[in-house]
């Protein structure tokens, strides 16, 4: 039995027993049908992150993924085939010193055995993203300081660019999502599949709207990290617009909070949680954000401990034990000040919490803190699922440094940027503290 336990008392997590590996570095745990569907979907999520250690301009990155993705997908089993994409989007497409901002594709299988014992046609929309803002500097808005009226955006047409709400127009009963999340979801919906990719020329919205799918077909949206924030938002936008065919499911891991409580409630109503009867797993749950209790990324962006005791940014400094590190406390202060500019309170989506293990000793410095954080955000989930991130190489691409990899994660990347620019952090936080920017009841 693993030391990892589920937040739901009736589910435990066993160590992987039997694994099949291949030359891509992707490992898929072999488990009895029908529970293998969760591992297959997570493996497709990991496939969207295949370029996570590589950098190059957009065309070079795309060429590499187009060449490697079929082999990665075939190793997963289950008759999966890429039917749309892959697509890579970069804010600066000619920049060869960064990786993709977003990577996404659609995989299809004509026959998938699900955890309820049914065999159905299935599509999986797999999404990966990086914390691109962190490489631009400490003063860049985290894109959670401005919000979009989600209902107005969906009603007005999700292919239209979302517009931030005037902060003075925000009302307590509104349904709001972070502007950065909505803008990224719009990109996912409207960027066409490029030449040499499947369904070239079609936008994701067009492809999903026009698939010939009976009601029994399941369309699963999945992603890890930023992808775990974007995939639920994308699914909810499509469902609200009436464009989602078949039965929609969401399988997100390690994502942060996209919007406020009203947004989280709308997601729960649209995609009711469904716990499987699959034995010996801690991850057999649809329509919840599956998270590690020691992962700092799902702690963002709720600032009110009373609203969400298990997931809020105030937990970050002591999440790996005490004494806490003063610099991490400063960064969290800056997080809260930035988030509070939104004039909403972020709330986590419904979560399924797997209990991670606190280190025997608390990290003694920021570098140690980040090392523990990265392991809890990546290795933890890979070990639980028995599915490793693909490890690929392409001649036209170069490897990122460890620092560059850290920079591209939400939360983790912003702490890493701050570590590299401590003077700017101290000055920014001092100015915020002097201005009294935080509410007295922030806890």
pLDDT band at 439 (very low <50, low <70, confident <90, very high): low
25 φψ region: left (φ > 0), alpha (ψ -120 to 50), beta (else)? left
Looking at residue 438, its pLDDT comes to 62
Looking at residue 440, its pLDDT comes to 43
241 within domain boundaries = yes
* Arithmetic mean of pLDDT, 226-253: 95
- 314-349 pLDDT, tens digit each: 999 999 999 999 999 999 998 998 899 999 999 999
Structural domain boundaries enclosing 424: 5-435
Looking at residue 31, its pLDDT comes to 38
Q: Which of 98, 59, 26 is nearest to 413 (CA)?
A: 98
CA dist 185 and 288 (Å) reads 19
Q: Which of 297, 129, 133 is nearest to 227 (CA)?
A: 129
Total of domains in the chain: 1
Looking at residue 441, its pLDDT comes to 46
Q: Which of 74, 113, 87, 29 is nearest to 282 (CA)?
A: 29
Question: CB burial class (10 A; 0-12, 13-18, 19+) of residue 142?
Answer: buried
- Give φ, ψ of 279 to 5 degrees: -80, 160
236 within domain boundaries = yes
441 within domain boundaries = no
442 within domain boundaries = no
22 within domain boundaries = yes
Looking at residue 133, its pLDDT comes to 52
Query: Residue 132: is its pLDDT beyond 70?
Result: no
156 within domain boundaries = yes
pLDDT band at 280 (very low <50, low <70, confident <90, very high): low
Q: What is the mean pLDDT of the chain?
A: 88
341 within domain boundaries = yes
Output the CA torsion 228→267→242→182 (10° steps).
-50
Looking at residue 215, its pLDDT comes to 81
pTM, full prediction: 0.91
Strand-pairing partners, residue 224, are: 253
For 387, the enclosing helix (H) or strand (E) is none
Residues contacting 156, CB < 8 A, separation 6+: none
* Arithmetic mean of pLDDT, 382-408: 92
Q: Which CATH number covers residue 172?
A: 3.40.50.1820
For residue 323, say if its preceding peptide bond is cis, omega within 30 degrees of 0: yes
DSSP state of 419: H
443 within domain boundaries = no
């Amino acid at each position: 039995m693993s030391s990892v336990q589920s937040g739901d008392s009736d589910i435990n997590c066993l160590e992987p027993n039997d694994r099949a590996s291949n030359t891509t570095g992707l490992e898929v745990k072999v488990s009895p049908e029908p529970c293998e569907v969760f591992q297959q979907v997570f493996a497709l999520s990991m496939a969207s992150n295949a370029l996570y250690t590589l950098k190059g301009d957009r065309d070079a990155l795309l060429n590499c993924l187009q060449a490697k993705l079929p082999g990665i997908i075939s190793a997963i089993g289950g008759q999966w085939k890429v039917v749309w994409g892959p697509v890579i989007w970069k804010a600066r497409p000619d920049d060869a010193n960064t990786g993709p901002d977003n990577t996404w594709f659609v995989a299809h299988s004509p026959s998938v055995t699900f955890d309820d014992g049914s065999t159905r046609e299935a599509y999986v929309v797999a999404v990966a993203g990086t914390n691109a803002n962190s490489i631009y500097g400490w003063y860049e808005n985290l894109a959670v300081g401005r919000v979009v009226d989600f209902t107005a955006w969906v009603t007005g047409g999700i292919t239209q660019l979302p517009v931030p709400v005037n902060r003075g127009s925000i009302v307590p009963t509104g349904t709001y999502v972070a502007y950065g999340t909505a803008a990224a979801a719009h990109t996912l919906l409207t960027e066409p599949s490029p030449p040499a990719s499947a369904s070239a020329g079609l936008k994701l919205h067009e492809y999903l709207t026009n698939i010939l799918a009976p009601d029994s077909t399941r369309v699963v949206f999945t992603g890890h990290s930023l992808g775990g924030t974007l995939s639920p938002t994308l699914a909810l936008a499509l469902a609200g617009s009436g464009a989602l065919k078949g039965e929609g499911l969401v399988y997100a891991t390690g994502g942060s909070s996209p919007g406020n409580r009203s947004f989280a409630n709308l997601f729960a109503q649209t995609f009711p949680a469904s716990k499987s009867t699959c034995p010996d797993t801690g991850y057999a749950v649809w329509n919840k954000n599956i998270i590690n209790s020691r992962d700092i990324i799902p702690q963002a962006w709720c600032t009110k401990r009373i609203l969400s005791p298990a997931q809020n940014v105030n937990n970050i400094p002591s999440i790996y034990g005490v004494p806490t590190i003063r610099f991490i406390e400063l960064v969290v202060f800056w997080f809260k000040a930035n988030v509070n500019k939104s004039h909403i309170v972020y709330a986590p989506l419904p979560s399924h919490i797997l209990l991670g293990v606190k280190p025997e000793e608390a990290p003694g410095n920021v570098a140690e803190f980040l090392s523990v954080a990265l392991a809890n955000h990546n290795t933890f989930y890979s070990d639980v699922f028995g599915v490793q991130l693909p490890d690929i190489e392409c001649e036209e691409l170069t490897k990122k440094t460890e620092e560059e990899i850290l920079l591209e994660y939400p939360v983790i990347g912003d702490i890493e940027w701050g570590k590299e620019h401590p003077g700017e952090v101290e000055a920014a936080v001092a100015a915020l503290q002097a201005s009294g920017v935080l509410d007295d009841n922030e806890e």
